Structure 1
Amino acid sequence: MMDKFKQALPATIATDRLLLTTPVLAHVPEMAVLANNERIYQVLSRLPHPYDESHGRFFVETIARGPEEFAWSILREGAYIGTIGLHLLPDRLPELGYWLGEPFWGQGYATEAALAVVAAAKATGLVPALRSRALLDNAGSRRVLAKAGFVQTGEGLDSDGTLKGERMALVELEFAS
């Protein structure tokens, strides 16, 4: 099921201000600069810190379009500004995740990218809904998810990664049939 879903997702998505595209090695230098930020590390459960180009290369070559992931680099005017993607685990709804470099916070880019990925996932007709999560105290990310149509379904503790044990808002977005 997830393989069919992955095959139906577009490799590239254009929005008014952004291009979501397959992560490539050319994105790694800027990815490493932007991701090597304590404020980003504190809100993501799967980002190493410090973050250097070796982490970016591993992400691009192994994770970004690997068995459990379908990620896009977020480009603005051709420059890398962040990553968005769907985490795909068997017997679970796809999970939307994203991060933007701090210089690009508060400008609507995360919402624009999230809306584009939600529309692409819905257009496949292969999944009934998406899920996501954000730290309870990460108001910015919770606003992005709400603007993208997600509704809080509960709270929980993160079960793994660097945020293990942290309180999370659990959200879902159901696609109308």
Structure 2
Amino acid sequence: MTIVAQSLKDRLPATIRTARLVLATPTLAHVPDMAVLANNKAIHAMLSRLPHPYGQSDGRDFVENIARGDTEFAWAIEWDGAFIGTVGLHILPEKLPELGYWLGEPFWGKGFATEAANAVVAAARAAGATALRSRALKHNIASRNVLKKAGFVETGEAIEPDHNLAGKTMTLMRLEFDPR
């Protein structure tokens, strides 16, 4: 009998429940709210890969092709049954998984990003990740604080090479899990 090693993605849960949130597989039912919330210049200005303007076709593409694609494992963030944002891991060969997220602006400052990030960190650890990475714009203190509350430490700075934030200074962050 041959034993095949499972990938990290295969070991991550499809759904995660926290005190206030449900992190679930993104579906087409999320697209209308996703399109409204993501079509925001303030969010676009902070994210490397989010298009603007953001319409329902972008949301459908995210759900159908990106959210659980070859290099992504994303969850829709739901609060009281409503879609409020996404959180996920960007998983590339030869690199640590990268935690990323966004919340609709009406939900900023309520602890939802920290709660979602902590849940994904715990899931990644339980699935066997040894460390995670993340990054935020240097001037995005709120996002850097979310990541610090989830256990990340700042490790340096880099200039974003491409996409929406090309040329901007990013704060690089890393979270090492203690060996069990």
Taking structure 2 as the reference length, what is the TM-score of the superposition? 0.96
Paired residue for 2:21? 18
Kindly indicate whether residue 63 of structure 2 is the aligned counterpart of residue 60 of structure 1. yes
Letter in 2 for 1:162: N
Paired residue for 2:83? 80
Kindly indicate whether residue 102 of structure 2 is the aligned counterpart of residue 99 of structure 1. yes
Kindly indicate whether residue 91 of structure 2 is the aligned counterpart of residue 117 of structure 1. no
2:7 aligned counterpart, secondary structure: helix
CA RMSD between the two structures = 1.2
Pick one of 139, 143, 146 that aligns with 1:144.
146
Structure 1, unpaired ranges of 5+: none
Paired residue for 1:31? 34
Paired residue for 2:47? 44
Runs (4+) of structure 1 exceeding 4 A deviation are: none
- 1:163 and 1:2 map into 2 onto residues whose CA distance is 36
Deviations 1:7-52 (A, max 9, x none): 0000000000000000000000000000000000000000000000
Q: Provide the aligned length of Structure 1 versus Structure 2.
A: 176
1:159 aligned counterpart, secondary structure: coil
Please tell me whether the aligned partners of residues 2 and 88 of structure 1 are also in contact (alpha carbons under 8 angstroms). Answer: no
Letter in 1 for 2:146: V
For residue 3 of structure 1, report the CA deviation from its aligned partner: 6.0
Deviations 1:99-138 (A, max 9, x none): 000000000000000000000000012x210000000000
Rg comparison, structure with higher value: 2
Structure 2, unpaired ranges of 5+: none
